[in-house]
A and B are shown apart, each in its own frame.
Chain A
Amino acid sequence: MSEPFETLFEGEEMELSFGPQHPSTHGVLRVMLKLDGEKILDAKPIIGYLHRGTEKLFEKEPFPQCIPHTDRLDYVAAATNNQGFVVAMEKLLGITIPPRAAYIRMILAELQRISSHLLWLATHAIDLGAITPFFYTFREREEILDMFEAYCGARLTLNTMKIGGVPFDLPDGWVETCSDYINRLPAHIAEYETLLTGNRIWKKRTIGVGVISAEEAIEWGLTGPPLRGSGVKWDIRKVFPYDRYDEIEFEIPIGKNGDTYDRYLVRMEEMRQSARIVRQCLDRLPDGPVMARVPKVIRATEGMVYASVEAPKGELGYFIVTTEKATEPYRCHVRPPSFINLQALPDMVRGRLVPDQEAVIGTLDIVLGEIDR
C-alpha cells in the first residue's frame, strides 16, 4: 500500500492504473501510466488478465478440434482465425482445397474483416466521444452476423472452416443476400464518413496523434493497418497469397503520415476493398465440392510449419510442430497481430496527453483475447 503513495508525490508525478476494468481499454488491458498533470511521461501495458492457455490446449486436442479454440483468440474475427489455422495445417499436410471451398473461405474472411473493422470504428469513435457511429456500424455488422448464422449457425465463434475446406456449402439464397448487402455497403461507409472524415473535431483528435514512422513500424514488427497507415505496402494476401487471393483484384490502401487519421482512412478503404473482393468471389463462385479428400483421423508426419493470413488486425500466423503419426500438435505457437502491435503503445503515447492514449489504443485495434491467448 505504501509503494504507490511514495511515487504519487515525488516530483509532482502521478501514477495511474488505467484498467483492467476501464471503458476504453477494449477488454482487460491494464496500462500503468506515469503522469505529469495530463501529460503521459511513460506508459506500460500490463497483460495477462485473459490468459486461458490456448496454446497449451492445442497440444491436447486432435487437429480438427483445435479450430474452435482459434475462434476465441480474436473473438471478433473468428473466421480469419480459423482460416489461419487451417491454412497452416493444409500447408503442413500438403492438402489442396477445392476452388469452391477457397472462394467460400474468402467470402467469409472478407465479411469477417468488414465486421471487425465496423466494430473497430464503433469503439474507436466512441472512445473519441462520437457515440452515434456505434449504432450505425452495429446495424451493418448485425447483417453480417446474420449471414454467418445462416451459413454455420453461429454468430461470433464461428468454427466455420475445416482442414481441407469448409464444413458446408452455401445455403439457398445466401449468395443473393450477401450480394444485396455488398451492394449497399459502400453507401453505409459513406454515411460513417460524413459523420467523421471531414469533422473538424475528429481531425483534431486524430491527425498527428500516435505517429509512428515506417521504419519504426517495421522495427516493432507491426502489421496490418498500423503498418499500412505508415505507408508500407504489406499485405499477406498480396505477398504470400493463400486460398485464391492471387485470382482476385484488389488494392492495398496505405497512409502517408502514420498517424491515427491515416490508419482510420486505411481501414475505411479496406472495408471497401473487402466488399470488392466479396463481389468478385460471388461473381466467380465455382461449382464443385467444398471439402478435399481428407482422412477422418488426421495424422501428421514429423515436421513444422509456419503459415500466416491477413487477419483484420494484421498478420496472424500459426507455427505448428508435429511429430510422426501424431493426431495433435506437439507445439502450436500463435503470432497474434494485436500482441505485437500493442508493443508500440508506449512509444506512441509518450509525451502526449491522456485523451490521446484512448485514440492510440483505439487505432491499434487490439483484442485482448489474442494478446493473452
Chain B
Amino acid sequence: MDQPLYQFIVIPLVKIVVILGVLSLIVAYLTFFERKVLAYIQVRLGPNRVGPRGWLQPVADALKLLVKEDLVPGGAQKFVFMLAPALIIVPAFLVFAVIPFGPATRLFGLLPEAIPPYLTDVNIALLFVLGISSIGVYGIILGGWASNNKFSLMGALRSGAQMISYEVPMGFAIISVLLMAGSLSLVKIVEAQQSSHLWFIFPGLLGFGIYFICGVAETNRNPFDLPEAESELVAGFHTEYSGMKFAFFFLAEYTNMLVVSSLATVLFLGGWLRPFPNVAWLGFLGIVPPFVWFALKVAGFIFVYLWFRGTFPRYRFDQLMHVGWKWLLPLSLANVLLVGLIVLLVKG
C-alpha cells in the first residue's frame, strides 16, 4: 500500500465511518438521555421497558419509525418535500468534519504513529461551520412550505426569521473568540487556549452567554422552540412528515444540539483540554483522556439544554425577535469592542 493512498483515502474513510457511526449512536442515545433527564425532572421514571432499564428504547424507536407509513400529503410539492429532510440532516452531520475531538493520539499505543482524531483541520473551519449549519434552515423552510399546510408554513416562517436573527449576534460572539485566538482553525483555537493558560470563557463570559442563548435559539429548543410549538402549530414545520422523514428532522435537531455544544466547548471551554491546562499540581487530571474531557463538557451543555426544556415556558414570536435584535445584538457588539480592547491592552 503506497503512502498517499494510505494517507488520503484509507485513513479519512475510516475516520468518516467511525465519526458517522459514533455520532449516529450518540444522537440516538441523546433522545434516550433527554427522555430520562426530563423524566427525573418531572417526577417520573421515563422509558424503562425496552431492554435492561430501557437501554434499548432508541432501537425500538428507530425500528418503529422505519416501518411507519411514509405519507406525502396531497397537494405537496413532492420533490421539495423529499429534499427537505436531506437538506437538514446532511449539514448537521457535515459540521463534524472539522470539530476537533482531541489532539493527535496513538490510541494508547495501538497505532504506529499519532493520528489526529478529527477528520480534517481546515484553516477556515469556523467559517465552514457557520456556513454549513446555515444551510439547515433551508430544509426547514422548504419542508414547511412544501407540506401544503398552514401550520407548517407558519412554523417554517418563524424558523427562518428566528435563525437569521440569531445568527447575527452568534457571529459577533464568535468574533470575540477570533480576536482572542487569532485563528479560524478550531484546532488552533484550542491550542491558543492552552498557550494563553486560560479558557476563553473567562475573558469572554458575555460572549459565551450570548453564544449559548443564540445556540439554543438556532436549534429551536425550548424556550425558543417556536417553529415546532405544539400548542400553537401542532408540530410546526414537520407537521406533515411521518416515518423516517420525520426521524431525519428529529435527528437533525439533536445533531444540531451536539454541534452547538461541541462548538461552545471548543471556543470557550478549551475543547479537549483539562481544567487549568497548565497548572502543574492538577496534572493528575491528565489521566483522563482528552476526548473524555471533550465529551464531558459537551454532555454538560446538553444537560443544560434539557434543563431549560424542563423549566422554561416558551417565548412568543415577537418577544423572541425583541430579545434577539434589541438585546443580544447590541450586547454582542459591545462585547466585541470590550474583548478587542482587552486583547489590544494585553497583547499590545
**Hey, which bits of chain A sit against chain B, CB under 8 A?**
14, 16, 22-24, 38, 125-132, 134-136, 139, 195-196, 199, 201-202, 204-205, 353-358
Q: Chain B 222-249, CB within 8 Å of chain A: the 1/0 string? A: 1101100111101000000000000000
Residues on B with C-beta less than 8 A from A23 are 230-231, 234
Residues on A with C-beta less than 8 A from B38 are 131
Residues on B with C-beta less than 8 A from A131 are 38, 42, 309-310
Q: List 17 A-B contacts (CB under 8 A).
A: A14-B150, A23-B231, A23-B234, A129-B229, A130-B312, A130-B313, A132-B310, A132-B311, A136-B43, A139-B43, A196-B313, A201-B313, A205-B315, A205-B316, A353-B317, A355-B316, A358-B232
Do residues A132 and B231 form an inter-chain contact, with CB atoms below 8 A? no
Do residues A355 and B42 form an inter-chain contact, with CB atoms below 8 A? no
Residues on A with C-beta less than 8 A from B230 are 23-24
Number of residue pairs spanning A and B whose beta carbons lie under 8 angstroms apart: 79
Do residues B43 and A24 form an inter-chain contact, with CB atoms below 8 A? no
Do residues B154 and A38 form an inter-chain contact, with CB atoms below 8 A? yes
Contact A38:B234 (CB < 8 A) given known A129-B223, A136-B43:
no
**CB < 8 Å: which of B223, B232, B311 contacts A195?**
B311
Do residues A129 and B312 form an inter-chain contact, with CB atoms below 8 A? yes
A128 and B309 alpha carbons, distance in the complex (Å)? 12
Do residues A129 and B43 form an inter-chain contact, with CB atoms below 8 A? no
Measured between C-beta atoms, what is the minimum distance from A289 to chain B in Å?
41
**Hey, which bits of chain B sit against chain A, CB under 8 A?**
38, 41-44, 150-151, 154, 222-223, 225-226, 229-232, 234, 309-319
Residues on A with C-beta less than 8 A from B150 are 14, 16
Nearest-neighbor residue (CB-CB) of B316 within chain A: A355
Do residues A205 and B314 form an inter-chain contact, with CB atoms below 8 A? yes
A19 and B151 alpha carbons, distance in the complex (Å)? 12
A140 and B337 alpha carbons, distance in the complex (Å)? 52
A353 and B222 alpha carbons, distance in the complex (Å)? 19
Measured between C-beta atoms, what is the minimum distance from B156 to chain A in Å?
13
A91 and B229 alpha carbons, distance in the complex (Å)? 49
Residues on A with C-beta less than 8 A from B223 are 129, 201
Contact A199:B312 (CB < 8 A) given known A23-B231, A126-B231, A354-B232:
yes
A306 and B301 alpha carbons, distance in the complex (Å)? 60
Do residues A354 and B154 form an inter-chain contact, with CB atoms below 8 A? yes
Contact A129:B310 (CB < 8 A) given known A204-B315, A358-B231:
no
Do residues A128 and B154 form an inter-chain contact, with CB atoms below 8 A? no
Residues on B with C-beta less than 8 A from A130 are 311-314
Do residues B231 and A356 form an inter-chain contact, with CB atoms below 8 A? no
Do residues A355 and B229 form an inter-chain contact, with CB atoms below 8 A? yes
Residues on A with C-beta less than 8 A from B318 are 353
Nearest-neighbor residue (CB-CB) of B39 within chain A: A135
Measured between C-beta atoms, what is the minimum distance from B308 to chain A in Å?
11
A353 and B229 alpha carbons, distance in the complex (Å)? 14
Measured between C-beta atoms, what is the minimum distance from A204 to chain B in Å?
5
Do residues B313 and A24 form an inter-chain contact, with CB atoms below 8 A? no
Residues on B with C-beta less than 8 A from A136 are 42-43
A24 and B222 alpha carbons, distance in the complex (Å)? 17
Measured between C-beta atoms, what is the minimum distance from A11 to chain B in Å?
16
Measured between C-beta atoms, what is the minimum distance from A219 to chain B in Å?
28
User: Other CB < 8 Å A-B pairs besides A129-B225, A355-B317, 10 of them?
Assistant: A24-B231, A125-B313, A128-B231, A129-B312, A130-B312, A132-B310, A195-B311, A201-B314, A204-B315, A354-B154
